[in-house]
Chains A and B, each alone.
Chain A
Amino acid sequence: MSDLQPVQTDHASVSRRRFLKVAGGGVAGSSLLTMLDARKAPAQIKGTTLRILQWSHFIPAYDAWYDKFAKEWGDKNGVKVRVDHIPHLDIPARMAAEFAAGAGHDIIYNGSSILTRLYYKNLVDLTDIADAAGKKYGGWIPAAKSLVEVEGRWYGLPLFYILAPMLYRKDLFDANNLKYPDTWELARVAARTLKPKGHPTGIALSQCADANLFWRSMFFSFGGTEADPSGANPTLDSKELREFLRFAKAIFEEGMTPEVFSWDDASDNRYLASGIACWVHDAISAYRTTEDTNPEVFKNTFLGLEPQGLPVKRVSVAAPNVWMVWKFSKNQQAAKEWLSYLLDNDLVGMVESRGYNMPYLNDRYKKPMPVIGTDPKLQILQDFPKIVAFYGHPGPSTTPIQEIVNTFIFPDMVTRVCRGKESIEESIKWGVGEYRRIYAKHKQA
């Protein structure tokens, strides 16, 4: 109300000094706002060097675009940008080495294994950028903050995640009167029907990222949870876990072959592209590989939403990607400017990655989205953000969860059941025991 009252001004009391102060402040403030609005970086970063360490993207063209895009931004703002790409599995070791040395890159990337909680005391608080982007683009999808938020502050910026839909062979499904795999039960029926005809299915049961992600998707869709919402306590041991493991054993025995015990993250791509698989649950890299290598199979490959475990229960565990800034960085301002710019342009990144990179900001999901919104087969991916979750669901990505993920306890538990050498209860006893042991160690520390 008071804002609407006319301001009484005493013209006589406005000195020249005060006038210059107020006017100067106003000019400076408005130019800062204009600059931020136009995303023009401040002059202080001119002449600095920004070093970025990140993974080698599964879509090589994305890396080529990223490097060029970063250089162009650098040239425009007088910043020398250097981008180094390494395999994502090497990132944790590199991060540990840079932290120990107190030197290295300014910006560091985490993929799949998100180490925010391990390093947050040594990372720059990026809450301001996250808040600004959230305000500008309709907020963040619900799962985003679980990756980077510690004690109410954001120590990383989630830029994109990688989805894993169902990819199924419509020609095989139609020829055998099988229904679209909208539930895990329907997917099981399809695999059971098509395996004897030479078209089994497969989800990796080895020690690789896919195994960690996809079996969790199934488990969470059956109503299971890994930790409580605070992330402090494991909640694995449940009737949902038993139900899920019974189902996993059945779907393995009826619809898969022992090949899945040896798979790496690219094996299911090859399985689909070779024309063997009736369906796979994988990132759209499998779709793209098939597009590039087997046009006939590609023509009949369709995508489906994450299948339901329990009625209407769909949870899709995605591979997150997060960028962080070291506290030891001497160029934090340029790092923040670049990350803001990158967030503003995440849809360009989505295009350059052929629809692989899914954004975390709500407004980006206005239909039609680039690439996936224009391809009728991929349009279904636009409905994923509501069901996306990450490791530790429904809790955050805590340090015990990172150890559990990195030592493959969850897929190992499923493997022990599927091998048939142990009963479900024996495998649960082992898996739950490992969870409790790791949680206890971290609590003690």
Chain B
Amino acid sequence: MTVRSSSGGPDAASARAAAISVASRARPSGWFRSQTSQRLGAGYLLLAPAVLYVLLLVGAPFLFSLYLALSDANVGEPVATFVGLENFRAALESDVFYIALRNSIVFTVVAAIFKGLLGTTLAFLLLQPFWGRKLVRGLVVIPFTLPVTISVLSWKWMYDSQFSVINWFLSRIGLVGSYGSPDWPVWLGQPHLALAACIIVNVWRSFPFSAIVLLAGFTSVPTEILDAARVDGTSFFQRFRYVVVPMIAPILLIGFLFDTVFTLSDLSIVYLLTQGGPANATKILPVLAYQVGIQAGALGRGAAISLFLFPLLLPLMILLLRNLKRRED
């Protein structure tokens, strides 16, 4: 008679292992019941809405616009034929396209600089304790929350060549002459001034967003660290450069990314203020794409023009996201 140990002994253990091994081969579904697989499954399940969202709302339109850009589609023809890179070649043949490309880059870069400067300043101001701070924090986001049509039409009035309140003010303080004089600014009529006017509206609308993003970042920096840096004798700018910025870098980078995408693809401000005029001085790629693709009906060429935004944005996105990843690691 064989006596078994309470633990089962080495023979029993190997037999159990063999049995488990056989069982696991026979019933692979056992793996799915394990804790690891369940955790993984739950993870994918939770991720699924985001993935679906990206695929449906970003991936599908992107692929569709790629399809349009490679076809001779127009707004009145449901069936389009493949034309290869013809629409891209057509865009590159037009000098209006190069003007729009240049203006898009200038518009985005200059607006980003000013939004960064003004947003940071505003965020620091809103950090300071003062009476009514909560109310002011609420009020500063008004430009961002107003419907774009209303705010841009208000600006259009302020830029009016005859009744501009800005010019009236500048004239009253003696910076420009009176109406009809050669130095009376025609905001939407002089090429550089017109582009500047569009940038000003974009900055005015968006810098509160930058400020709010930065404010969220600033408030997340522990005061002990800032106090320690202060005790070490650092100046305000040194603390900002070496303590605050590295700590809020992920927020800054994401905010910057969002803002760049929104600015580069912003159609409304330029369209409502100037429609790209005078003589294309303010034409940007989204406006040109809209005029060619929708108003003139050449969907394929319009899609090709708008897709030129993609190679502009892609390197920037890769750089920013890699930087973000490196910081996380």
A contacts, CB < 8 Å to B: 92-93, 95-96, 99-100, 113, 115, 118-122, 198, 205-208, 257-264, 267, 270-271, 274, 276, 399, 402-403, 406-408, 412, 415-416, 419, 430, 434, 437, 441-442, 444-445
Contact = CB atoms under 8 A, between A and B. Distances in A.
B76 A120 contact: yes
A94 to B, nearest CB: 10
Given A276-B162, A406-B291, A415-B278, A262 B296 contact: no
A412 B74 contact: no
B277 A441 contact: no
A406 B76 contact: no
What bracket does the count of chain B residues touching chain A fall in?
Answer: 35 or more
Contacts of B86: 444
Given A121-B76, A445-B72, A437 B276 contact: no
B186 A259 contact: yes
Given A99-B75, A434-B94, A262 B275 contact: no
A263 B76 contact: no
Interface of B: 72, 74-77, 86, 90, 93-96, 156, 159-163, 180, 186-190, 194, 274-280, 288, 290-292, 294-299, 301
Contact of B76 (A118, A264, A408, A442): A118
Nearest to B163: A270
B291 A412 contact: no
A408 B291 CA distance: 10
20 contacts: A118-B74, A120-B76, A205-B278, A206-B275, A259-B162, A261-B188, A261-B189, A262-B161, A262-B186, A262-B188, A270-B163, A274-B162, A403-B298, A406-B291, A406-B295, A407-B292, A408-B277, A430-B95, A434-B94, A444-B86
B180 A257 contact: yes
Interface centre among A263, A267, A274, A437 (most CB of B within 10 A): A263
A442 B72 CA distance: 10
A441 B300 CA distance: 11
A208 B156 CA distance: 14
Contacts of B74: 118, 399, 445
Contacts of A96: 75, 294, 297, 299
A95 B189 contact: no
Given A198-B180, A402-B297, A416-B279, A258 B189 contact: yes
Contacts of A121: 76-77
B160 to A, nearest CB: 8
Main secondary structure of the interface of B (DSSP, over half): loop
Nearest to B299: A96
Contact of A207 (B163, B276, B290): B276
Contacts of B194: 262
A399 B297 contact: yes
A419 B279 contact: yes
A262 B95 contact: no
Given A206-B274, A207-B274, A122 B189 contact: no
Contacts of B190: 258, 261
A412 B279 contact: yes
Contacts of A267: 160-162
Contact of B161 (A93, A263, A416): A263
Nearest to A202: B161
B186 A261 contact: yes
Contacts of B186: 258-259, 261-262
Interface centre among B188, B290, B295 (most CB of A within 10 A): B295
Contact of A407 (B161, B180, B296): B296
Contacts of B275: 206-208, 408
Contacts of B290: 93
B159 A262 contact: yes
A364 B52 CA distance: 60
A403 B292 contact: yes
Interface centre among A403, A416, A441 (most CB of B within 10 A): A441
A440 to B, nearest CB: 9
A93 to B, nearest CB: 5
Contact of A259 (B96, B161, B301): B161
Contacts of B90: 437, 441
B14 to A, nearest CB: 69
Contact of B297 (A92, A207, A408): A92
| Nearest 9 A/B pairs, CB to CB | A262-B189, A207-B277, A261-B189, A403-B296, A262-B188, A259-B161, A406-B295, A207-B275, A119-B76
Nearest to B295: A406
B61 to A, nearest CB: 13
Contact of B291 (A95, A399, A407, A434): A407
Nearest to A117: B76
Nearest to B296: A403
B295 A92 contact: yes
B256 to A, nearest CB: 31
Contacts of B156: 264
B161 A402 contact: no
Nearest to B294: A93
Contacts of B94: 434, 437
A233 B169 CA distance: 51
